[in-house]
Structure 1
Amino acid sequence: MLERTPRTDRTEITFVLPADAPPGPVSVVGDFNDWRPGAHTLRTREDGTRAVTVELPKESTHSFRYLAAGDYWFNDGSIGDQDGPNSRLHT
Structure 2
Amino acid sequence: MALTKQYLKSKPVCKVTFSVPAEAATDSKEVALVGDFNEWNTNEATYLKKQKDGSYKAILELELGKEYQFRYLLDGQKWENDWAADKYVSAGVASEENSVVVV
Question: What TM-score do the two structures reach when normalised by structure 2?
Answer: 0.78
When residues 32 and 70 of structure 1 are mapped into structure 2, their CA distance, relative to the original with a 3 A threshold, is closer
CA distance in 2, matches of 1:13, 1:67: 18
- The number of equivalent residue pairs is 91
2:20 aligned residue: 17
User: Matched residues, percent identical?
Assistant: 32
Unmatched 5+ stretches in structure 1: none
Deviations 1:54-89 (A, max 9, x none): 110112111000101151001001125111110111
Structure 2 spans left out of the alignment, 5+ residues = 91-96
**Higher Rg:** 2
TM-score by length of 1: 0.87
CA 1:20–1:41: 2 relative to 1, 3 Å: farther
The yes-or-no answer on 1:90 pairing with 2:102 is yes
**Larger helix proportion of the pair:** 2
